[in-house]
Each structure stands twice: as C-alpha cells, then as structure tokens.
Structure 1
Amino acid sequence: MSLTFAAPTDDAIPLTLVAKESLAKVKETLPDSHAAWLDASGYSAGLGAVLVLPGKDGKIDGALVGLGDAKARARMRFGTAKARAALPEGTYRLVTDLTGHALDEVALGWLLAGNTFEKYTKHPAPKAELIAPDGVDAARLQAIAAGEALTRDLINTPASDMGPADLADAARALADEFGAEIDVIVGDDLIEQNFPMIHAVGRAAARAPRLIDMHWGESGPTLTLVGKGVCFDTGGLNLKPGASMGLMKKDMGGAATVLGLARMIMALGLKLQLRVLIPAVENAVSGDAFRPGDILTSRKGLTVEINNTDAEGRLVLADALALGDEDMPDLMVSMATLTGAARVAVGPDLAPFYATDEMDADALRVAAPKVADPVWEMPFWTPYDAMIEPGIADLDNAPKGGFAGSITAALFLKRFVTDTDRYVHFDIFGWQPSAAPARPVGGVGQGARALLEALPGMLKL
C-alpha cells in the first residue's frame, strides 16, 4: 500500500487538473505539440481521464487529469482518483486552481487509491506518487487514509482470521501503537462483570465472546465510541439463508469503523479523552445458543424478549452502551452494521444516523460534504416506542410488522443511554458493493471522516 505523499523533488512531473468546461482554455496554454496531441487523442477531460503529454526526449512532460463536468463531479466522489492507476511511474506535482475541501478531496482520493487488501494475495501497487499539494494538511490526510485503511482491512479479513480474539488483538495493537490502555473481558467473566447479553449472544460459538475497552487521552472533553463487533453472524437459531450469510464477515464493520476513527483521533493528537468499547462475538448455532422466546436481562436491568436471534447486534451493543453511559461522557457514538432496513431506505452509499441533540446533527450535516463522506439524518421517532415494547418484557429485540426497522433498532439502543445527554447512532453498511474511485469492492468506512470533521465543533476542541 502507498498511503503517504511523496517527498518534494525538483523534477516532479506536472499533473494538471482540467474540467471539461475549461479544456479549450487549458489547450491554449499548451505548446503546439501538446495541443496537437490533445486533438489527436480526442481527449475530453472526462472525470478521472488521463492524457500523458510526451516530451521530445521520450520522457513525460506532464499529464492532464479530467475533472469532468459539474454533473459528473456531483455524481461521483473521488473521481480523479481513477487517474492514479492509469499514470506512468513517477513523482507528480499537482497543478490546479482548486482550494479548500475540493483540493482535500483530490489529495485524499489519491491516497485512498493506494489502499489495496494484500493479506491473502498481492496486488500491484500504484507506481505514480504525488507530492502533497500546497494548501492541504498532509499529516491530517495521511492519518485519515491510514485510519480508513485499517477499517477496510479489518472488514475484508474473513471470519476464519477475524474472530473475537483477533479483533481484540487488532485493538491491542492499535493501543500499543499510540500508548492507549486496553482491557478485554473474556468468556464467563462477562457474566461475573454483568454483561449478560454479550455473553448470551456469543456463548454458542467455539471462540469466546469478549468486551474490548480502550482508553486514550488524559484531558479534554470525553468521547465514547461503541462499535458492533459481530465477527460472523449465522443468524443463530433463526438461521440466515446462505445468500444472506455470504457477507457476514462484515458484521463487525461498526467495530472496524470506530477503530479506524480512533486511529485518526490518536494520530492527530486531538485534545480529548477517548474511550472505545467493542462487544466482540460470533452469533453461532450450538446446543448452548440463545433461543427465540428467551428473555434476557441486560446490564441496564431492562429485560429483552428474543423474537429473532438474528437481531443480535442490538443486544451486544446494549450492554456496551450501558457501560459507556455509566461514565456520562460528553458525547457517545455507536456505529453498527445493524439493519437491512437502513439499506432499503438509503442504499449502500449513505450512512444514516440518529442524534439526540439537534446541534450534533447539524454539525454532521455540515461536515459530511466537506470530506466526501455522505450521511443522512433519521429520526428517533418516539411514537414508534410502542413497537419495541412486547408486554412480556421491557423490550422486544425484533418487533413484528417489518416497518421502520432502522428506527426501531435505534430506539432500542437509545433505551440504554439514559444518563448521557448527547448520543449519536450510525446504522452503516460498511461495504462497497461495486468498484468506485478510491473504493474497491469490499470493506469501507462510513461516517468516520464526517465525525472527525465535526468533532472540533461538537466538543469545542
């Protein structure tokens, strides 16, 4: 992987960004030989399209990268990142009038285009390198790219190599890198320390469930991140069909995303006190599996009727949220690949979120487009509270009827956050279903960059 900018050099190749609407003007600035080459090639500055400008000595004089037209730019994030794989080997310097967030997106897209998953097979690394453009915070962008790469790698790793212990090892390695403290509660110790629902969901698996608890930072406002770490989800006794089980290695995408975000926060040295909580389990089938109709008592003391063992993510998150709530952080955020209903509502690209504080929601709405990390607010719609109250217990983990599945799941989680005033929940997909610029098919972070951008305002850093 190549996730850093190149060192400055005097012989860097100029890489000129050109929009379709300004191609004719750019052509006028080119030497006659390059202008003729542009005409001969039929180059039209399509988004991410590359035109190499040959020199008289056989070397490269420069290259053009298309910005497309306004419609193309609106439809595709990181569109110019396609150019990295198409450019010949060399070190390039950017020539552009772009500034601010538009320039950041180009530079970050370049870095993310260097991210390949190579745990099981090698992929050719891009040979083109870019000097950090003037006007960008290179260290920040490199930290963001590294955090995103961590998230992707964790999601892409199959459950055979990413069980609860492996996820804990990944968190421990991150803690060691940045001097964070970490504690992991394993197996039956979860019962002794009052995490009954995490234990109930994970007890049927051969690999023991656990709760990962990481702390970093000694001063500043308090932020708690909670990530769903279901390393594989069979559906339990409500077994998923094979087609629905195929992507379930990504069911720990919430955990992967909060670890990636934590990496960004720690690498950038944000002045806050960070806590990361990850309930890491496998939802498996055995004689010890929890059953439909069971009633579980949570850490919070609320009872939960199990009407579907495939709605397990909210159960393990509930105990972790209850723990986080006991410290009453300034802000608590949960991230989870929680419901198919969210995908039906907004598709794979948008990350729906819920917020108890409207100012936090506003901050995320403003931050997201600045960092090309789209989010969409959904409501904690209290009239639907009755849907998660079965009567036989305090809560129902899988209300009947099929309506408002993402909202009712969010309302369920909110019941476990009673002392913390500000709570945000993300119901993410965590997967790129088709290749896009800087985002190959596979695991992908969602919401982390938007949160990172919004945090200074949300927490007054």
Structure 2
Amino acid sequence: MSEITGFTASTATALPLYVLDRSQFEAWKATQPAATQAWLGAQGFNAAAHSVALLPGSDGLAGAVIGVGDRADAYSYAHAPHALPEGSVWQLASELSADEQALLQLGWGLGSYRFDRYRKRNRAPAQLVAAPQGEVADLIAASLRVRDWVNTPTEDMGPQQLEDAARALADAHGAQVEAITGDALLQQNFPAIHAVGRASHRAPRLVVLRWGKESDPALVVVGKGVCFDTGGLDIKPADGMRNMKKDMGGAAHALALAGLVMAQQLPVRLTLLVPAVENAIGPDAFRPGEVIATRKGLSVEIDNTDAEGRVILCDALTFASEQQPDLVLDFATLTGAARIALGPDLPALF
C-alpha cells in the first residue's frame, strides 16, 4: 500500500508558506514589501481557493502563498503539494488554529497521493515541515488504502485480495477473520452471494472480521465487494464496463473504516462484513428470470443481472442484523442513478 508522502522533519531548506483566504489577503499583502505587493498585483493574485503564488527573493524563491476556500475542509489545502515546485520544502508561516493545522496536514497528505503501483512517479510532491500524528496520520493512511484498493485493476484485486486485505488489517490490530468461500456459502445459508459470484473462476466469499470487547456497543460495517461487474448476462456496454474495477469501492471504504476504528481503539465491538464476488459471464452465470433464495428466507426474482449489488448485500445485511447490532453502516457503489440525481460530489445516504 502507498506510504504517506509530502512531509519532512528537516527545516534546513524550508521556505515560509502563507495560508490565506480571500478575506485575509489584503491585510496580509499590506504588510509585505512594495516589490512583493507589486508582484502579486501584476499576477492578479487574490488568494482565491486552490490558487498558489510564488514569492520572488534576491536569491530566487523566497516563499509562497496558497489560497484556500473553506478552511474547515481538508481538500482546501490539497492542491498545494503538486502546485508548489517539486522538491521544495515549506514551513507554515501563518497563524492557524490547532484544528486548521490538522486539516492542513490531512489535506497535504491526501493531495500528495499518486497511484504509482504500475508506473514510476513523474514528480515528487512538495514537502511540508510537519509530522502527522495520531488521528491525522490514521485518517491519511485509511484514505490512501481506499484509493489504492479502488485504483488497483481486478487482476490484482479480486475476492481473494479483498480477503487478504482484511487479514492484513486483522494481523495489525489483533482481530479475527474468517472467510466463507465457494460452496460453503450454500452450506452456511448465503445463497444470494453464491448466486452472483458462482460464474467466476475466482470463488465468491463472505469475509467476516471481528474485533473489540463483548461489553462495548456492537457496530457492524458492511461493504459491497463486487471486484468486477460485467453486468452479467445483461452485459454492460464497453463504456459502462470500463471502470467497473471500482465496484468494490464500498468494500474498500468499509475495510479502511474498520482499520481506522481499530487504529483509534474506539470503544466498539466491531464486525466487518465484505461479500466479495465477481459478476462474471459464464456457463453458470445467474440468469434473468431466475428466482434466487436469500438468507432471510425471502425469494427474489432476477429481472436484470446488472442489479447484483443489492443481491449480495441482502445476505450480508441479514447476517448483520442477526448480530443484534447497535448500529449498521453499509457502503456500496450502488447504482449510477445516485450520481445522476446528486452529481459526482454528493453521496446518497439512507
């Protein structure tokens, strides 16, 4: 998995970094030398959100200003690592509250990310003199895990690899993992998960991770793990299928959230459930018109095999309810209609 990048402990070559929003800019600008004021004026710089201005000095670069919008949003700071010169080192020169400094670090860590498993990075991020600790470091690490898992092509991120990811988290935090795989899904009454995943050469499974004290409130986290979605026999067109490696994004989010809960030692009794399948096309693929049994005992008629996510989740959510939880959180890339209704930036929450 990707390491956290964009930070350094060395101040030897650090330059001052001013973090300003538009409401602060004019007052700050008035405190600067006349040459700096003229330089910023010539560029029309006003600290608008996601902007950067490099400040000239007698020996070259003397500092920089990054413009931010919502100071309570970590992504307001995320443009800086790749907008500032490669290899440059920066030390905060503005007065930020402790919360704002934490958000700056979080945004910087997220903005420094590049997925480089299959190719060499073409540039390194600028470095911030800071050392993310505690919750900030755990949040960055969890976010990078989600991005890496979703970005990884299916040949390297199938049901077995999702199970491996859960086992790695369990090993790191002292949790227990079991996987109900292949025909064992039928034997243990998870027929809907089996039906969707049975056509693939990679066996479907339900991954179950448990952690925490029996006396703590019960939290169940569920994530849709369709590692690739062809649409099944109701096959997607090419443009619709192109990015379906991301159909395990719910599982990636659930896995990373479970890791974050354990890293932060939250007082909960955690159960993580990941139904992991490929919705493949083959002789044993489930078909339109079939009536599929479910763990709850209800039958569902399949009208379209590209509506597979709700089929695997019904078994997982029934099992989640059997744990008598205080709270269930379920994450899924569950239908493009949500994107049509709300756009690319707003999640649909139920």
What TM-score do the two structures reach when normalised by structure 2?
Answer: 0.91
* 1:176 paired residue number: 171
Contact 1:2 1:126 in 2 (8 A): no
| Distance in structure 2 (CA, Å) of the matches to 1:87 and 1:303 | 57
Contact 2:78 2:112 in 1 (8 A): no
1:102 Cα deviation (Å)? 4.9
1:106 Cα deviation (Å)? 3.1
User: Within 5 A, what are the aligned runs for 1:56-75?
Assistant: 56=58, 58=59, 60-67=61-68, 73=70
* 2:226 paired residue number: 230
Amino acid at match of 1:220: D
What TM-score do the two structures reach when normalised by structure 1?
Answer: 0.70
- SS in structure 2 of the partner of residue 232 of structure 1: strand
| Distance in structure 2 (CA, Å) of the matches to 1:226 and 1:125 | 37
Deviation string, structure 1 residues 50-79 (Cα, Å, up to 9, x no partner): 2222333x25432111236xxxx59x9723
User: Within 5 A, what are the aligned runs for 1:304-343?
Assistant: 304-343=300-339
| Distance in structure 2 (CA, Å) of the matches to 1:187 and 1:215 | 21
Deviation string, structure 1 residues 251-282 (Cα, Å, up to 9, x no partner): 11100111111122122221222111000001
1:111 Cα deviation (Å)? 0.9
* 1:99 paired residue number: 97
Contact 2:231 2:279 in 1 (8 A): yes
Contact 1:217 1:272 in 2 (8 A): yes
| Distance in structure 2 (CA, Å) of the matches to 1:249 and 1:90 | 35
| Distance in structure 1 (CA, Å) of the matches to 2:98 and 2:168 | 34
- SS in structure 2 of the partner of residue 239 of structure 1: coil
The list of structure 1 runs, each at least 4 consecutive aligned residues, that deviate by more than 6 angstroms after superposition, is none
| Distance in structure 2 (CA, Å) of the matches to 1:3 and 1:273 | 32
| Distance in structure 1 (CA, Å) of the matches to 2:117 and 2:310 | 30
Residue among 28, 34, 37 paired with 2:36: 34
Contact 1:211 1:278 in 2 (8 A): yes
Q: Within the alignment, does 1:192 sit opposite 2:194 as a pair?
A: no
| Distance in structure 2 (CA, Å) of the matches to 1:109 and 1:64 | 16
Residue among 42, 45, 48 paired with 2:47: 45
Q: Within the alignment, does 1:87 sit opposite 2:84 as a pair?
A: yes
Q: Within the alignment, does 1:142 sit opposite 2:144 as a pair?
A: no
Contact 1:48 1:82 in 2 (8 A): yes
Residue among 289, 295, 298 paired with 1:293: 289
1:21 Cα deviation (Å)? 3.4
* 2:209 paired residue number: 214
| Distance in structure 1 (CA, Å) of the matches to 2:57 and 2:137 | 32
| Distance in structure 2 (CA, Å) of the matches to 1:140 and 1:59 | 37
- SS in structure 2 of the partner of residue 296 of structure 1: strand
Contact 1:132 1:138 in 2 (8 A): no
User: Within 5 A, what are the aligned runs for 1:272-283?
Assistant: 272-283=268-279
- SS in structure 1 of the partner of residue 55 of structure 2: strand
Contact 1:3 1:142 in 2 (8 A): no
Contact 2:80 2:111 in 1 (8 A): no
User: Within 5 A, what are the aligned runs for 1:1-12?
Assistant: 1-3=3-5, 5-7=7-9, 9=11, 12=14
| Distance in structure 1 (CA, Å) of the matches to 2:267 and 2:127 | 32
Deviation string, structure 1 residues 271-325 (Cα, Å, up to 9, x no partner): 2221110000011111111111111111111111111111111111111111121
Contact 1:214 1:277 in 2 (8 A): yes
Name structure 2 gaps, 5 residues minimum: none
| Distance in structure 1 (CA, Å) of the matches to 2:184 and 2:51 | 56
| Distance in structure 2 (CA, Å) of the matches to 1:302 and 1:119 | 43
Contact 1:107 1:132 in 2 (8 A): yes
- SS in structure 1 of the partner of residue 156 of structure 2: coil
Amino acid at match of 1:208: A
RMSD after superposition: 2.3
| Identity value in percent | 48
| Distance in structure 2 (CA, Å) of the matches to 1:175 and 1:59 | 50
Residue among 149, 152, 164 paired with 1:154: 149
| Distance in structure 2 (CA, Å) of the matches to 1:95 and 1:268 | 30
Amino acid at match of 1:128: A
1:41 Cα deviation (Å)? 4.0
* 2:256 paired residue number: 260
Amino acid at match of 2:81: R
Deviates more, 1:47-56 or 1:272-281: 47-56
Structure 2 vs 1, CA of residues 24 and 4 (structure 1 numbering), >3 Å: closer, same or farther? Answer: closer
| Distance in structure 1 (CA, Å) of the matches to 2:99 and 2:348 | 22
